[in-house]
């Protein structure tokens, strides 16, 4: 009897906590939501509930995308979107995509290694330099969709240069 009550109390606490997390995550900044967020942030981060998703009207965009430009010895620029080469069905999808986000979030740690890798990957182009870009997705509305606009149109992205560096010899 005591075991059933403790189980019931534990389950009720978990459901209450989860419901509170779902409400707090998309809530706009206020004194109460900020106070709750400081306590709940590890839980929100662990379960990836702390995203741009709103509860009733989700923003299902990708957020940021990594792009890079390889400049060859003739001065031509070749733009690459490495995430498009990934397959959802491949086991390394989440690892590689996570590495791309790490490059954007912590360029001082990962950008040099990424530039070196991209220089080697595109050796046939005789690369001279690589520029890493973070493409931040802008809001794509229902009106944009009804007007026949493409969500991947460059108009819906802001580019931020992460790092530009010469390729190692």
Query: Which one, of 80, 90, 75, 88, lies nearest residue 128 by Cα?
Result: 75
Domain that holds residue 118: 64-166
> Is residue 55 one of the residues assigned to a domain?
no
Judgement on whether residues 102 and 37 belong to the same structural domain of the protein? no
Judgement on whether residues 77 and 16 belong to the same structural domain of the protein? no
104-147 pLDDT, tens per residue? 999 999 999 999 999 999 999 999 999 999 998 888 788 888 89
Bridge partners (DSSP) of residue 137 are: 157
Judgement on whether residues 111 and 138 belong to the same structural domain of the protein? yes
Judgement on whether residues 94 and 158 belong to the same structural domain of the protein? yes
The percent of the chain in helix, strand and coil, each rounded to the nearest 5, is 50, 20, 30
Q: List alpha helices for the chain, DSSP H.
A: 2-24, 31-46, 93-105, 107-121, 142-146
pTM: 0.62
Number of domains in the chain: 2
> Is residue 57 one of the residues assigned to a domain?
no
Task: Using DSSP, state whether 78 is helix, strand or coil.
Answer: strand
* Residue 63: per-residue pLDDT: 77
Judgement on whether residues 82 and 149 belong to the same structural domain of the protein? yes
49-65 pLDDT, tens per residue? 766 555 555 555 557 88
> Is residue 147 one of the residues assigned to a domain?
yes
Query: Which one, of 55, 34, 72, 30, lies nearest residue 167 by Cα?
Result: 72
Judgement on whether residues 78 and 140 belong to the same structural domain of the protein? yes
* Residue 36: per-residue pLDDT: 84
Residues in the chain: 169
> Is residue 161 one of the residues assigned to a domain?
yes
Bigger pLDDT: 5 or 26? 5
> Is residue 59 one of the residues assigned to a domain?
no
């Amino acid at each position: 009897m005591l075991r059933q009550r403790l189980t019931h109390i534990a389950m009720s606490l978990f459901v209450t906590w989860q419901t509170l997390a779902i409400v707090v995550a998309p809530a706009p900044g206020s004194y109460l939501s900020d106070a709750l967020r400081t306590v709940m942030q590890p839980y929100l981060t662990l379960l990836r509930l702390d995203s741009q998703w709103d509860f009733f009207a989700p923003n299902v965009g990708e957020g940021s995308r990594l792009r890079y430009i390889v400049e060859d010895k003739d001065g031509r620029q070749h733009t690459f979107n490495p995430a498009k080469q990934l397959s959802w069905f491949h086991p390394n999808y989440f690892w590689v995509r996570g590495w791309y986000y790490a490059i954007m979030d912590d360029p001082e740690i990962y950008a040099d290694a990424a530039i070196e890798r991209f220089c080697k990957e595109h050796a046939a182009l005789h690369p001279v330099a690589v520029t890493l870009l973070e493409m931040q997705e802008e809001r794509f509305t229902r009106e944009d969709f009804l007007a026949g606009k493409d969500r991947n149109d460059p108009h819906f992205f802001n580019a931020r240069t992460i790092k530009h560096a010469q390729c190692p010899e």
